[in-house]
Every structure is written in C-alpha cells, then in structure tokens.
Structure 1
C-alpha cells in the first residue's frame, strides 16, 4: 500500500532563509506520525507545504501514490488534508454545530436558507461515529479548550479529511485532556485516518506516535519507531548534542518575604470575581509554584501582582512596601521581572525590532537612557547579549519580533526579563512553546536565580515543570487556593484532582503545609506530564 503522505525532497526557501532543505517524509496510512524539532527547525513550514499554504521551491507532494500540486489550502482540503492550528480558528459566540459546518452548511428551500436542523444532525452523527463527546448546541465561548480542539478536528472531518495535521496540539491542554486527545487519535486511526502532529515534547511523541521524524535546521535528521527509541536519543537528534533532561535542584536557602499577597480579590473583564481572597508569600531564595487549569484565576492574579490589573480589594507588598496602587513602571524599577503568558500581547511590540524590544520597561533609565536621550549602542549590545545567551534564532537584532517563531519570541522575552537583575521574577508559563534544549536552559537559569536569592513566582500548566521546580506549590481552582503543598510529598494524580476542585480520597491536610526547604529533586526537561512508552 502506498504511504498516505510522501513528501519527496521538499525544499522551501524564503529570502535569506532555507526553511526546509531537501526533506523527505513518509507517513503510512492509518498511523500516527510525530514531527519533532526545535523552534525554527522547519516543522510548521513543512506541514504548511503539505496543507497548501506554501508552495515548495523544490520537491513533490504525493498522497496515496498520486502526485498533487496545491495552490491553496482549498486544494489540500479537497484532496483530504485537514490542519488544526495551534491557535484555534473558531467563532466564540456561535455554537459547536455552527462552527463545524461554517462555510459548508447544508441548505434548504432551493439553497436560499441554511438547514440548521440538518446541520445539527450531521454533527451529532459525525461525533457519534468517531466517539466524540461534544454538545452541538453549546457555544464555543462556554466550552473547555479540550472541547474546542475536538470541534476543530470535527471541522476537518466534516470536510472529508483523511489526513489530519495538528500543530502543537497539547500546548494548552491539561494532562487529563492530553490523554483524552491521544484516545481520540486511536479512534481516528482505527477508522483509517492518518495523523501527523507537530511537537517539541519528547514524552508525548513517544506515547502517542507510531513513528517519529526529527527535523534540525530544516533537514530530516532521522525517523525512528516510537517504541524503539529513548528520550535521550530523540533529544540528541533534535539539538545535535547530549541534553541534560533532569536538572538537579539544590536545597534552598530561604530568606525574608519578597512578595506578599494578602486577601486579594480581582475581577475579570466581565466583572466576575476571578481571584477570591487569595493570600500567600514568596520568599527570597525560593520558587513558589502555582498549578491549575487555565482559566481558574491565575491570569488575573498575576496581572494584579504585576500592576496590569487593579485588585478589587486586598493588599500586595514588595519588600515590605505596599505596592497595591503603584504603577507597572515603579514595580519594574523596584526589581520585579515578568514573563507574561501571552508573549505577543504583553511581552513584545511585534513590529519593533529586537533592539527596541530588549529595553522595554527600562527605556527610561540607565543604562539605556541618560539625560533624556536613548543610548542605542547600549541597547543593541544588550539585545545581542540576550540573543546569544538564550540562543534566539535568527541571531539578528534588527529582526522584528513578528518575524520570529513563537518559541524564539519566548526565549527573547525570558532572556530580557531574567537579565534585569531582579529581586522577584513572576514567570507565567515560561517554557510554553519552547523546545527541549531551551527548556533545559530556562529551568537551569530559574534555579540559578533562586540560588542567588531571587524570589520566583512560577505559574505553569505543566505539572512536571511546576512540581519539579517549586519549593512550595499552591494548587488553584475557581479563583482560590485549594492547598499549598510540599511538591515532593504529593503525586501528579493528587495535584490533578486538586486542580479539578476535588480533594483526593483520604486527604487529611497533612500535606497542605509545604516544607520550608526543598530536598534534591529532578526536573524533566520536556515537562509535559504524559509519560513515555507505547500508544
């Protein structure tokens, strides 16, 4: 049987850049194939060629033994290729059924009107056929991220897709939703569908895929069978060197409280209470972690702490000084660094170059300004230093932020904030969308800052990351802290239940007070919590 996908010698050039260099990829019918690689390795570009968003400079696209030329995604869709992008393309006020059939609605009255009942019934039948649990009448704005992803998959299936491409499909999912997605993979391949998913997470590729292809610097450096490889082998293929997948966390030396949060209440944009009477301290020389499913108040809490949202009540102190009503700029000047969860909205000015972005938040003071004038030479030197230290690609200080991949944007923000010489680092999902080699470096740098006496507030949806790096760990649900625990004394399953608003069986609160110091612990560099092994 011919492979479902055969990309033969694909080269894709952009001005000054070879994104894919003579890449050949074979994906067997009815299989799950993972495409691994660092940020900027060419994974998404290659799949955009398959989906018709880009036309190859050289090479052939062959589907089921037939060579195809795609001038647009419409051509690829007609040929049975569907793509689910990392950022979903759904209309929030519309229902699940309306989103799935949008643009392809069944008609009635001679084509004059949309047949909504028939559309709904077709969605119900499609969901039942593939074992998807979705409510066709639910509005997208009211369903979880995991359900939204299923809606995107159903959209592609509704249009006749036999080959599904998923770009970083687990980036915003909880561990439970990740496992549910992998179950969906099994259901789809059992009915003859072929799945290619882009990832930089080693464990999820080993867990979910039949075969894994690794790209590095735009080239295919190897295809391996998932159950015959190791995380170490994959990491070395991705990075081109041996990667330390576990970081040794040394015992912490805890100092005085740097950040104090006392009875803080914060509302979201709708005026609904998102943070409900939260109190805690982060001390010098410790990592205080906050775990929780996205949308349970973590974002509003972080914005209140960093000066981006006014709390409705409560008090925030920094080094003993009340900063509840102080400006964002003053918090930066006092030594607060912030890695935001939304890098494009909060972390960068997308049409600025990296020189300008490198001094954001500090452009009004030395060393970047003196006597009311900007020192552009110093700003350029700083940007070059961050680019080099944090391996930002391409290494071009004049490049605009929007020209970088998401992972390289993240590395630049992390470098800028970590190098502020901070007293407090507020890091919200600092390794989201970042490859394994960079995750290793960011984890090491966070622990270096902690060991230098910096207070670190870490918010992450990656359980292995937040559990492995934290000295104390708070679990947040529905705007409140369920418990603050010793991360070494609880399991991922127990944390997962707390994240869902439930206390584990037999929970007596004995682990609800975390230890003052941490013992040695290992941190998995890919931090995705899916585990290894067979599908």
Structure 2
C-alpha cells in the first residue's frame, strides 16, 4: 500500500438550519487501502462524505486530492477528480436498462448514434464487471434486478466514469452474508491490487475488522479516533463509536405462544412472472416469527401484500376474527392495532417533503383525535409528536416543522416506529427494521419489538440479516423461490438455516 494520501479533509464544518452537522471534522484515506468510517446515526459520516463527493460545500475547512488543495463546485467536479460515491439509497432510473443508466453518467461518450454509444457502454460494462469478478447483463432493466445486482450497477457507474476514490455508504445493509462477502472482497481487491482508495461507511463491526486497513470514528460531528482495526477489539471499537452501549439481551430458548393471529395460506403472485409461489405460515400472539432468506426470493412482495400495498396476489391472508387482511381499510387496520414498518422508509413509510409532525400525525388523523380534516388541532399534534420524538430518541430534530427528508436514515426509521407504536400494537409487520442503524439504535428497535411481543402482540419479522433474525425470532421460517421451505424453533442451528437459504432449489 502507498503512503500517499488519496483524499484528505481538514477541519471541515457544516451547518443545516442552524444545526451543526460537522464541527472541525477531519479524515484521510490513502491510495491502496480500504478505510472504514464509523459513527452513530447523525454523527456526521454522510455529511462529511457528501462534501467529499461535491454534494455539499463546507463552511470551513479544506479538501485535498493527492495532497493538492481542490475546491468542488458539484458532483461533476468530484467525478473529474476521480471521486465516486455509491449512496445507501440507490440513484438509478428503475425503468431503464443497466447500460442506459450508466450512459447517463458518462460524459466522454458523446460521439456516434445513441445505439452505437449504448453498444459501447455495454461492452465496457461487461469488461469492467469481469475485471471485478462478477457479471451483469447490460440490457437488463434495473427494476428486474436484485438489490445486490443494483448495487453492482451503481459501482460500475462510478468506476466507468473514472472513479479511483470509491465511497460506499452502508454497502452491506441489505445484502446476505454471501453477497456482502463477495462485494467487500471485490472492493478490497480494487484497493489492494489496483491501488485505488475505498471508503467504507458502515455500522457492521465484523466488516470493519475483516476488510478495513484503517478506521476513522466520528461522534456528534467530530472525528474522535483514527486507527488500525487490528489494534483494538470489537468491544473497544463499539465503545469508541457509541460510548457505553447497552448489552443485547438474550432471548429465551423457547416460548409458549398464544393463539393464531394471522394465517397465510397458498399466497401467490397474480402475474405472468410470479414471485410468491404458495406461501404458507401461521403467526401467533406473543411470538416473533422471523423470515430469513437470500434477497429476491419474495420477501419484499410478501411484506407488501401483508402491509396492504398494491400487490396483485391470490390466496388467503386471514386476520383471525376479522377475515381477509386485504379487505380491511387503512383506518380499520389502525383501529385494530396493525403496525407496519416497511424496508424503504422514504418511499413507503414517510412523506419526505412534509414536516415531522405531519408524518407522525398521519397515522391517527382518521380517528378524529386531531379534529376534522379541515380544522386540525395543531397544538395537540405538536405535543404528541414532541413526546414521541423524545421517547423514541429521534435525533437531528431542530423543529417539528422541518421536513422529514432532512432526518438521517436511522432517525427517519425511529420516527416511523414512533408513529406505528403510538397505539399499543396487536400485529406488527416489519421488514429490515435495523437497516442502516447504528448499534445503539438497533438495540433500541429490537427492544421495542421484544416489548411488543411480551405484551402479547404477534410480530412478523422479515430480514435479510440472519444475525437479526437469530437474535429476535422465536420461530424462523426460511423463504426460497417464493415460499417457506422450512421452519426452525429456537435454539436454532445457524448453519442449518444458512444451508436451507442457499441450497434449496
């Protein structure tokens, strides 16, 4: 590895609406290394990397590339300096093909007809993917790709644009163990063998310990440490990141669950290319039923169908005592205490342009608690929102009138959970609840789900993070090829679950 600095940020400060997101923060990554960036939600990691990628301008401080001072006037300037960022929430045009998406970001392909340029891009995609050790179909539509494949498209997009400094924001948040290992091995080789610089923004300590050459820790907008991960233990690294984090509680080996609350029978997609192919499961009161599986096997479609999203399905989703779940209106679902926490909090759970208080209140407006639609009681809304924000530790809230879009991903998730748990839930349907959350926030979310179960709620947990499923679930179902192909009672054999996830045809 080279000792030369690839990118350096010195004494960088940045404020938003009077809130200081960064305070004299510094960061240095060298050529030929994988450099991890750790910190709690709202610690300033994304803000700092958005400055490095030209999306934000710093108020104070300096940016250096190859130890030369530079000033970025936008992402195009950053790309010209060889900087490429892959964001946690992908920035792809879903109806476009892989080649069409990548062509949008290439400024050096301006000659020839559109078809000729598209053909050139397709060749470049195939060659670059092969050099990185994976394959991708250039003419596949992005909305037909798995999450892992979409992430590869994002990486190819910035690398083909000339990136030599690659910033990955929470790259393994929605990947399985095997997918994450493949990705991190690929980018590690890119750094070590190609001499590039890779910056890994992550909350996963194991990823840091296994793949990073250097780690920088941020807290409350400032840099608190930079060291080699091999010189500290995981516990010491956690303490540097979040202080004295609480110890995760151990789940009981077995529990006596109550009566069946939700029965799913032969649930199938009503489409020419069915994803759900006969899902059968029973969820009982007082238990957490976890669904594990490799991404793209129908988990998202199952969650969407159960949450009332417009998924064309056949079969039964019986809420015992109420009939077909699909026949219930949104208002009736709320009255019955059905809480829904989708995986994509911004597109499916929050109205990002609306205020924090409006997003919180929308879960209860139909009940009349806040008065009629045409004359809402704003003081009551703000009082309830303020209490929920405090109880659920939603940070980064300068005003209840600020847009929900300004919250970090983790704090946006806390807001969703605060709204869904405003009433005591009887049925909780949750998909990837800790995606992008730091250690402390993840433990808090997990404790909420356990508390709901202990109070008698039926909790359906869908997660591609096997550690999360193992830590929370009382029973575990493995989903493959659009159906549940095996169930495991706790204490479960992780290896057997892993084999079921990848070996079933």
**Same fold by TM-score, threshold 0.5 exceeded?**
yes
Aligned residue-pair number = 498
Q: How does 1:414-429 map to 2 (within 5 A)?
A: 414-429=417-432
The question of 1:194 aligning with 2:197 is answered: yes
- Residue in 2 aligned with 1:339? 341
Deviation by residue 1:133-159 (Cα, 9 ceiling, x = unmatched)? 334454434443323322322222222
The counterpart of 1:51, out of the listed 50, 53, 57, is: 53
- Residue in 2 aligned with 1:258? 261
Q: Is the 8 A contact 1:468 1:487 kept in 2?
A: no
SS of 1:185 mapped into structure 2: helix
Task: Tell me whether 452-461 or 336-345 shows the greater mean CA deviation.
Answer: 336-345
**Given the two structures, how large is their TM-score scaled by the length of structure 1?**
0.86
Task: Tell me whether 428-437 or 140-149 shows the greater mean CA deviation.
Answer: 140-149
- Residue in 1 aligned with 2:250? 248
CA distance in 2, matches of 1:388, 1:428: 24
Residue 46 of structure 1, CA deviation? 0.7
CA distance in 2, matches of 1:398, 1:93: 34
CA distance in 2, matches of 1:53, 1:46: 10
SS of 1:70 mapped into structure 2: coil
How has the CA–CA distance of structure 1 residues 123 and 295 changed in structure 2, closer, same or farther, with 3 Å as cutoff? closer
Q: Is the 8 A contact 1:306 1:331 kept in 2?
A: no
The counterpart of 1:406, out of the listed 409, 412, 435, is: 409
- Residue in 2 aligned with 1:293? 294
- Residue in 1 aligned with 2:440? 437
SS of 2:35 mapped into structure 1: strand
Residue 117 of structure 1, CA deviation? 4.6
How has the CA–CA distance of structure 1 residues 26 and 175 changed in structure 2, closer, same or farther, with 3 Å as cutoff? same
Deviation by residue 1:152-207 (Cα, 9 ceiling, x = unmatched)? 22222222222111111112222111000111122201110110021222222222
SS of 1:30 mapped into structure 2: coil
Q: Is the 8 A contact 1:30 1:194 kept in 2?
A: yes
The question of 1:275 aligning with 2:276 is answered: yes
CA distance in 2, matches of 1:274, 1:246: 35
How has the CA–CA distance of structure 1 residues 227 and 10 changed in structure 2, closer, same or farther, with 3 Å as cutoff? same
SS of 1:380 mapped into structure 2: helix
Q: How does 1:112-151 map to 2 (within 5 A)?
A: 114-151=116-153
CA distance in 2, matches of 1:326, 1:402: 30
CA distance in 1, matches of 2:324, 2:125: 52
CA distance in 1, matches of 2:236, 2:346: 33
How has the CA–CA distance of structure 1 residues 122 and 357 changed in structure 2, closer, same or farther, with 3 Å as cutoff? closer
How has the CA–CA distance of structure 1 residues 252 and 311 changed in structure 2, closer, same or farther, with 3 Å as cutoff? farther
- Residue in 2 aligned with 1:206? 209
- Residue in 1 aligned with 2:350? 348
The counterpart of 2:75, out of the listed 73, 79, 82, is: 73
Task: Tell me whether 247-256 or 63-72 shows the greater mean CA deviation.
Answer: 247-256
SS of 1:274 mapped into structure 2: coil
How has the CA–CA distance of structure 1 residues 386 and 196 changed in structure 2, closer, same or farther, with 3 Å as cutoff? same
Q: Is the 8 A contact 1:232 1:245 kept in 2?
A: no
Residue 332 of structure 1, CA deviation? 1.7
The question of 1:237 aligning with 2:240 is answered: yes
How has the CA–CA distance of structure 1 residues 310 and 126 changed in structure 2, closer, same or farther, with 3 Å as cutoff? closer
How has the CA–CA distance of structure 1 residues 265 and 468 changed in structure 2, closer, same or farther, with 3 Å as cutoff? same
How has the CA–CA distance of structure 1 residues 276 and 120 changed in structure 2, closer, same or farther, with 3 Å as cutoff? closer
Deviation by residue 1:414-470 (Cα, 9 ceiling, x = unmatched)? 122123111111111111122211101111121111111111111111111012200
Task: Tell me whether 361-370 or 230-239 shows the greater mean CA deviation.
Answer: 361-370
SS of 1:4 mapped into structure 2: strand
Residue 209 of structure 1, CA deviation? 0.9
Deviation by residue 1:487-514 (Cα, 9 ceiling, x = unmatched)? 42222x43334334617xxxxxxxxxxx
The question of 1:83 aligning with 2:90 is answered: no
- Residue in 2 aligned with 1:62? 64
- Residue in 1 aligned with 2:14? 12
- Residue in 2 aligned with 1:526? none
CA distance in 2, matches of 1:146, 1:169: 9
Unaligned segments of structure 2, at least 5 residues: none
Q: Is the 8 A contact 2:126 2:135 kept in 1?
A: no
Residue 319 of structure 1, CA deviation? 3.7
Q: Is the 8 A contact 1:105 1:115 kept in 2?
A: no
- Residue in 2 aligned with 1:358? 360
How has the CA–CA distance of structure 1 residues 89 and 356 changed in structure 2, closer, same or farther, with 3 Å as cutoff? closer
CA distance in 2, matches of 1:433, 1:286: 25
SS of 1:434 mapped into structure 2: coil
- Residue in 1 aligned with 2:185? 183
SS of 1:489 mapped into structure 2: coil
SS of 1:456 mapped into structure 2: strand
SS of 2:276 mapped into structure 1: strand
Task: Tell me whether 58-67 or 361-370 shows the greater mean CA deviation.
Answer: 361-370
Residue 242 of structure 1, CA deviation? 1.0
Considering fraction of residues, name the structure with more helix. 2
How has the CA–CA distance of structure 1 residues 114 and 497 changed in structure 2, closer, same or farther, with 3 Å as cutoff? same
Q: Is the 8 A contact 2:357 2:385 kept in 1?
A: yes
- Residue in 1 aligned with 2:35? 33
- RMSD of Structure 2 on Structure 1 (CA): 2.5
Deviation by residue 1:211-238 (Cα, 9 ceiling, x = unmatched)? 1111111000111211122232222222
CA distance in 1, matches of 2:82, 2:267: 51
